[in-house]
A = this chain, B = another copy of it.
Amino acid sequence: MNRQQAIEKTKITHLIDEYLRIRAHSTTLCASLQVEDYTVQPIAEVSPPKWHLGHTTWFFEEVILVKYMTDYSRYHQGYRVLFNSYYKSAGEHWLQSQRGSLSRPTVDEVIHYRNYVDQQVVNFLSLADIDEAVLSLLEIGLHHEQQHQELLLMDIKYILGCNPLSPVYCDQSLGIPRSEKARWRAFDEGIYEVGAINRGFAYDNEKPRHKSYNYGFAISENTITNGEYLAFIQDDGYGRAEFWLSLGWEWVNDKKIAHPLYWQKIGNEWFEFTLHGLMPLDLNLPVTHISYFEADAFANWKGLRLPTEHELEVYLQASSAVAVISEINKRNGNLASIYHPIASGVPFGQVWCWTKSHYSGYPGYKPYQGMLNEYNGKFMCSQFVLRGGCVATPNDHYRHSYRNFYQPHQRWMFSGIRLAQDIE
């Protein structure tokens, strides 16, 4: 083995470690679940955890093993359809809203499937002379896995939260910084650069890095707290049409919405369902599980506005927010990064912030080629961008340029509010 080969081998060994570490984290996140929790789908957009475990495995199988590994044979022909989320170019897929109809494959069978594919990926990486293109797909696959780790926590929370028995996901709670008085950080009018820089991983939709002309603006360093949001409710915010988008007003009235997703009023007191059970509402924690409609109405009530996604990216570049988040998570150790932060709700600075920007392609946007062409671009319609990450986001998945996106009525993700205003 020459030096070049040795370097290559080290790189591959490192990649395999990374692969196994990230893959293992998905099952670790489910360690406290009952088999039944893995299986149900209370609403169409919340998938059964076992489906997530299967789908992320399918991704590696379909994108890498089937295409690049000689003599690879699929674990189960039926899984090709069952665990395809929506990729038309990968053939038929099982209807999203019917994932919870399927009792089989069982959780155990899905775990076997994971183990089989992991073994094959490791074999493939160890033996073959891996092409750069394949390494790039593997990297996407790992980021895809991490996206689903956040989805897993969102969906687990929903599954437990819609259950009148209020089951507990984890016991421990974390000391989280309380929110302080709002401070504004100002930015001058001018041309700014946004979008992914060419180091490190980024999805296609974060590129190309490009110039944007921004007018003078200020961003609040604090996210809105439960206490501030409660004042909106107490001022009849949900009952006054003047604050709401037309579609938002329809939504509030059709669905009888009167508070954030996991809030409950019992007698005269407010509670919030969290991953460590039903807790009295902590007024100093950031409000979370908020739809775009609610975020926008709140901003109007305040006489302020939501930031654009460009403004928020400029702010993130300028601040140490991401660094701080990672720091908090690291300080709590590995276990803590899985269980603790979520346990006590969502700490200050650790909540996805709605922007007023619809989700569209950047100037010069080029979607991935092949099957992954369907990864991002085809959703650029009638959704809004969120920025910044949350406690459920894996630590090494935070990026300034990261663009999360949801429909304006959705709110089962860890979404919150950070305000902006124009300045002269």
Contacts and interface: CB of A to CB of B under 8 A. Distances in A.
B102 A422 contact: no
Contacts of A308: 363
A135 interface: no
Given A39-B39, A103-B159, A210-B215, 6 more contacts: A39-B40, A41-B100, A42-B98, A105-B165, A213-B213, A382-B408
6 contacts: A34-B106, A39-B40, A40-B103, A86-B246, A103-B163, A104-B167
Contact of A357 (B163, B191, B212, B360): B360
Contacts of A363: 214-215, 308, 422
A78 B241 contact: no
A25 interface: no
B34 A104 contact: yes
Contact of A101 (B40, B245, B249, B380): B40
A323 interface: no
Given A241-B89, A422-B363, A81 B36 contact: no
Interface string A24-51: 0000000000111111111100000010
Nearest to A213: B213
A259 interface: no
A242 interface: yes
Given A88-B242, A247-B382, A381-B245, A101 B162 contact: yes
Contacts of A42: 98, 101
Contacts of A38: 36
B39 A103 contact: yes
A317 interface: no
B102 A163 contact: yes
A100 B100 contact: yes
A378 B36 contact: no
B34 A82 contact: no
Interface in A340-367: 356-358, 360-361, 363-364
A75 interface: no
Given A98-B42, A211-B213, A358-B358, A104 B165 contact: yes
A315 interface: no
A79 B249 CA distance: 24
A381 B103 contact: no
A105 B408 CA distance: 33
A29 to B, nearest CB: 16
Contacts of A50: 36
Contacts of A102: 40, 163
A379 interface: yes
Interface in A239-253: 241-242, 244-249
A100 B99 CA distance: 12
A333 interface: no
Contacts of A408: 381-382
Contact of A35 (B36, B41, B100): B36
Most buried by B among A43, A358, A422: A358
A325 to B, nearest CB: 28
A163 B373 contact: no
A36 B106 contact: yes
